[in-house]
Amino acid sequence: MKGPDVSWYLTLSAFLFAIGVLGVLLRRNPLIVLLSLEIMLNSANLALIGFARHLGDTSGQVFALAVMAVAASEVVVGLGLIVALNRNRIALDVDRLNTLRG
Amino acid sequence: MGDVLVWAVWVIAAIGCLGSGIAVISFSNPFFAALALIGNLASLAVLYLLLSAEFVTAAQVLVYAGAVMVMFLFVIAYVGSRADASFGGGPSWQAIAAVVAAGAIVVNIVIAIGVTTGGRLEDEADVGPSFGGPAEVGEVFLTNHLLAFEITSIVLLVAAVGGVILGSERTRKRP
Q: Which of B128, B148, B106, B131 is nearest to A14 (CA)?
A: B106
The answer to whether A16 contacts B152, with C-beta atoms less than 8 Å apart, is no
Q: Which of B7, B75, B99, B146 to mutate to test the interface with A (most CBs of A within 10 A)?
A: B75
Size of interface A-B (CB pairs under 8 A): 261
Check: CB of residue B104 under 8 Å from CB of residue A52: no
**Shortest CA gap B109–chain A (Å):** 6
Q: What 3-state class would DSSP assign to B103?
A: helix
Domains along chain B?
1-85 (1.20.120.1200)
Q: Which of A52, A66, A64 is nearest to B127 (CA)?
A: A52
pLDDT digits (tens, 9 = 90+) for A4-13: 888 889 889 9
As a whole number of angstroms, the distance between CA A30 and CA B165 comes to 19
As a whole number of angstroms, the distance between CA B148 and CA B131 comes to 20
Q: Which of B68, B7, B71, B19 is nearest to B43 (CA)?
A: B19
Q: Return residues 91-120 of B near A (CB < 8 Å).
A: 94-95, 97-99, 101-103, 105-106, 109-110, 113-114, 117
User: Residue type at B91?
Assistant: P
Domains of chain A, by residue range, sit at: 6-87
Q: What is the ipTM of this complex?
A: 0.90
As a whole number of angstroms, the distance between CA B155 and CA B106 comes to 31
- Assign domain A6-87 one CATH number from 3.30.930.10, 3.40.50.2000, 1.10.287.3510, 3.40.30.10: 1.10.287.3510
User: Which member of A7, A14, A73 has the closest CB to residue B121?
Assistant: A7
pLDDT digits (tens, 9 = 90+) for B1-45: 678 888 999 999 999 999 999 999 988 888 899 999 999 999 999
Give B149's contacts (C-beta < 8 A, 6+ positions apart): A66, B141, B142
User: Residue type at A65?
Assistant: L
pTM score, two decimals? 0.89
Is B62 an interface residue toward A (CB < 8 Å)? no
Q: How many CA atoms lie less than 13 Å away from B116 in the CB half-sphere?
A: 6
